[in-house]
Amino acid sequence: MRKPCCDKENINKGAWSKQEDQKLIDYIQVHGEGCWGSIPKAAGLYRCGKSCRLRWLNYLRPDIKRGIFDQDEEDLVIKLHALLGNRWALIAGRLPGRTDNEVKNYWNSHIRRKLIKMGIDPNNHKLHKGLPSINPHVSNAGTSSICDEAMNKDINNNSNNKLSFNKSFDAMRKIEASKNNSSSSLNLDLTIALPSKDCESQRTRDMDTDTDIDLNC
């Protein structure tokens, strides 16, 4: 049996107060991120390290972009989900300022419902047989995923603004290939367009994470 991540006694749970937020922000601004296990004590917080990490990454980080997803972001989430499945951290890594939690929540509350309404299975991005589609891009029911068309469109339209995915994505492709080896209809040429204005912040972000992606902006 695994031990709990932290001593449950003297540990606050639930919503964070403004004072707690400020303590965490102040501490990280001075000492930087990392060593989450020791941060609560050092910062004078009665929280476990995991809770501090989550609060910082999902809410307090200064580069977080909040608010509703625009159409480009939503499209990208759909495409990336079709490629990667529920790998929210990887998907969020392609959306500057968005967190995995936010992407996951947005998927579950908005996109998933939207796809279902359109007659598209959100798990495999294929049309349900027999259901009408209101998506003009999808015409070959049951044979092609929604992202194939969108991907091909992007690849054709953005030849000078492409992401070249290297070894991390090679690994990802292997995983996906083994997962889908019997039924995959995805085009695994993982060349995806991003808005050019985001490239620089994206590059910075990738340096901070292990998502090892080579960008040609």
Partner DNA sequence: AACAGGACCAACCGCGCGAGG
Partner DNA sequence: CCCTCGCGCGGTTGGTCCTGT
Calculate the alpha carbon distances from 61 to 22, 29, 64, 110, 192 in Å: 12, 10, 6, 24, 27
**∠ at Cα 142 (86, 153), nearest 5°?**
70
Query: Tokens standing for 182?
Result: 């019997």
Residue 89 is a binding residue for DNA (CB under 7 A): yes
Closest to DNA by CB, 144 or 202: 202
C-alpha closest to that of 199 among 88, 94, 76 = 94
Task: Work out the widest C-alpha separation in the chain, in whole angstroms.
Answer: 59
Closest to DNA by CB, 8 or 129: 8
Closest to DNA by CB, 162 or 203: 203
Residue 169 is a binding residue for DNA (CB under 7 A): no
Least distance to DNA, CB of residue 131, Å: 18
Residue 54 is a binding residue for DNA (CB under 7 A): yes
Residue 105 is a binding residue for DNA (CB under 7 A): yes
The tally of CA atoms less than 13 A away on the side-chain side of residue 159 is 1
Residue 162 is a binding residue for DNA (CB under 7 A): no
Q: Kind and range of the H or E element at 171?
A: helix 167-180
Residue 18 is a binding residue for DNA (CB under 7 A): no
What residues line the site for DNA (CB under 7 A)?
2-5, 12-16, 34-37, 47, 49-51, 53-55, 58-59, 66, 86-90, 100-102, 104-106, 108-110, 113, 209
